[in-house]
Amino acid sequence: MEKLGKQTIKFDNPPTILECSSIVGPKEAQGPLAKYFDQTLEDEFWGEKSWEKAESKIIKEATNMVISKSGISSQDIDCVFAGDLLNQCISSSFGLREINLPFFGVFGACSTFVESLSLGAICTEGFAKHVLCATSSHFCSAEKQFRFPLELGNQRPPSSQWTVTGSGAAILSKEGNGPYITHITPGKIVDMGIKDANNMGAAMAPAFADTLITHFTDTGRSPNYYDAIISGDLGHIGKEIAIDIAKSKGYNIKSNYNDCGVLIFDKNSQDTHSGGSGCACCATVFSGYLFKQLREKKLKKILLIATGALMNSTSSQQGESIPGIAHAISIEL
């Protein structure tokens, strides 16, 4: 490992993303990426008695699936990085309580999937042969916890985003033939004073731009180096802000930039307003769609920048602004 510039880490022996899995809920199953997901659920409960238990089941089954698809024994996995949006990350810790592997809980809100992959990649260049990374979110458990009981039927403002129900999981391997994680640029917390908890895209876009530009400065790369630059879940509004901020700093990303929250739902027919969000948004779009594009060589170099809003319902009620964060990884064939 070598540090480039201020924040970027370049791997001497880049880990391979050996396998991915994705499970999504019924809303995502009606979206434009439906055919890429490994499994789509017919309802939000999946036979469980609560949304929280359903979310735990989703991450549990996604991790079982990725282990099974990879063909490696779970005993050959050195550790797990996992996290989610529920208070005290219970979806991960309950979902993975039987996995019987060293467990590192991580929290970066919707940036958690790339945070997990980053830390997992660092471990593979050290002691680990295989690392499992997984995150989940659930529309119903998130709405209940962060906003209002769903039964109230509250109206959602046009800037709001729709938490993705699902889980994405990946196994990183010290050896393999790619796709490789070649660089990571872990992000700093950036708070530009946005206080509207129904406009997460605006709150997170400055953190995205900060990490994006730091990545280019540290590596000497420019936007056109990548086939695609993908943000985690800025949504439609945040995506436009991100393009504008990047442009104002001298980086034109309009032609090869998109957002997982924009990709996962159809804006016109699905009533999801500004697009998808949640720890599962980036995790399922990467594990379901982008990973397969890389494997089929339709994409050869991507920069995945997951974004997170580091607030809770108490901080919003206390009038605090919303700190954002964005973690980036370069994935190349």
**Where does this chain bind a copy of itself (CB under 8 A)?**
1-3, 7, 9, 49-50, 52-53, 78-79, 83, 85-90, 93-94, 96-97, 99-109, 115, 118-119, 122-123, 125-128, 145, 186-189, 191, 310-315, 318, 320, 323, 325
Tokens of 280: 């599962």
Which of 205, 262 has the CB closer to a copy of itself?
A: 205
* Conformational region of residue 57, where left means phi above 0, alpha means psi within -120 to 50, and beta covers everything else: alpha
Of 98, 100, 147, 103, residue with least CA distance to 123: 103
Q: Which of 198/312 has CB closer to a copy of itself?
A: 312
Query: Which residues touch 256 (CB under 8 Å, ≥6 apart)?
Result: 223, 224, 226, 227, 228, 229
| Tally of CB atoms within 10 A around 30 | 13
Cα–Cα nearest to 38, from 24, 54, 22, 27: 22
Smallest gap from residue 329 Cβ to a copy of itself (A): 13
Q: Minimum distance from CB of 310 to a copy of itself (Å)?
A: 4
Other beta carbons within 10 angstroms of residue 143's beta carbon come to 18
Beta carbon of residue 10, minimum distance to a copy of itself (angstroms, whole number): 9
Structural contact between residues 288 and 276, judged by C-beta atoms closer than 8 angstroms: no
CB closer to a copy of itself, 188 vs 267: 188
DSSP string, 55-94: HHHHHHHHHHHHHHHHT--GGG--EEEEEESSGGGHHHHH
Computed from CA positions of residues 255, 38, 166, 327, in that sequence, does the dihedral angle turn out positive or negative? negative
Other beta carbons less than 10 A from residue 318's beta carbon: 8
Residue with smaller CB distance to a copy of itself, 305 or 311:
311
75/155 with CB nearer a copy of itself: 75
CB of 112 to a copy of itself, least distance (A): 8
CB 87 to a copy of itself: min, Å = 4
127 burial via Cβ count (<10 Å: 0-12, 13-18, 19+):
exposed
- Nearer to a copy of itself by Cβ, of 118 and 160: the residue is 118
Q: Shortest approach of a copy of itself to residue 86 CB, angstroms?
A: 7
Q: How far is the CB of 141 from a copy of itself (least distance, A)?
A: 9
Residue 216 · residue 223 · CB < 8 Å: yes
Cβ of residue 125: shortest distance to a copy of itself, in angstroms?
A: 6
**Cβ proximity to a copy of itself, 202 vs 262, nearer residue:** 202
**Closest CB to a copy of itself among residues 88, 252:** 88
